[in-house]
Structure 1
Amino acid sequence: MFLHQMRELAVTLLPELGAIRRSLETLGEDPEVLLAQFRRGEVDAIDVRPADEFAAGHLAGARSVPLAELPARLGELSKERALIAYCRGPWCAFAREAVDLLREHGFTAHRLELGVSDFRALGLTR
């Protein structure tokens, strides 16, 4: 994945980016594993970016639940299935905030650190 390699290079060359990224990281959740689980239908994905960004392009099969609307829309989500939340990519904090809120309310939730540019590169956007 070219974009992933470029991000890793940036983190290597600019250590402060690594610190920022670590502050947003999940607890060892591998983005490729989470994405594979989604593609197999094992988990549901929510896009927590604003609705206009979702409309401009998103992971095919994901549901739009903007972070600002998430507290009011928790009842629309099932606690029976694990959720993955994503936003703009590895440095976007929206997904981390969404995962924290979902977990506080009893959901099994994970942050997918990939973003729409990654999904486009993989041919997974709509």
Structure 2
Amino acid sequence: MAREVELEAFAAAWADGALTVDVREPDEYAAGHVPGARPMPLRSVPARCGELPADRPVYVICASGNRSRTAADWMNSVGIDAYSVAGGTSAWARGGRPVTAGPVEHAA
């Protein structure tokens, strides 16, 4: 079972530059996501785990916490230190935290 991190702990880690992976679908991501979150739709996680570091925590977020638990379980099974964010993007936004809308952000 995936390890879960409470929203307050995630917010502190995010403020310190934590790697965040959003496993929602592209249209959900575009509608609003945690700033800086890397998009990786759930269906692509098994094939894309190699893109993630094994030497630091990865925070996995979705809409409410269900898909992120599944993704974090998979990541943990291949040696990634992954945590599912409790409450997901919905709770993040309800808490008044920043949300970025728009298409997938591309790293420079």
C-alpha displacement at 1:25, in angstroms? 8.0
State the one-letter code of the partner of 2:11. Answer: L
Counterpart selection for 2:87 from 114, 117, 122: 114
Structure 1: runs of 5 or more not aligned: 1-23
- Let me know the Cα RMSD of the aligned residues: 1.9
Structure 2: runs of 5 or more not aligned: 101-108
Structure with the larger helix share: 1
Q: How does 1:56-75 map to 2 (within 5 A)?
A: 56-75=31-50
Mapped partners of 1:124, 1:80: distance in 2: 27
Aligned length in residues? 99
Q: 1:62 to 1:34 in 2, by over 3 A?
A: same
State the one-letter code of the partner of 1:68. Answer: R
Structure showing greater Rg: 1
Q: Where do 4+ consecutive residues of structure 1 move more than 6 Å?
A: none
Do the aligned partners of 2:3 and 2:72 also contact (CA within 8 Å) in 1? no
For residue 11 of structure 1, what is the aligned residue in structure 2? none
C-alpha displacement at 1:26, in angstroms? 4.1
Seq. identity, %: 32
Given the two structures, how large is their TM-score scaled by the length of structure 2?
0.80
Counterpart selection for 1:34 from 4, 10, 13: 10
Given the two structures, how large is their TM-score scaled by the length of structure 1?
0.70
Q: How does 1:21-100 map to 2 (within 5 A)?
A: 26=3, 29-41=5-17, 43-89=18-64, 92-100=65-73
Mapped partners of 1:65, 1:93: distance in 2: 15
Mapped partners of 1:25, 1:66: distance in 2: 17
Q: 1:32 to 1:103 in 2, by over 3 A?
A: same
Higher RCO (CA-CA < 8 Å; seq separation 6+): 2
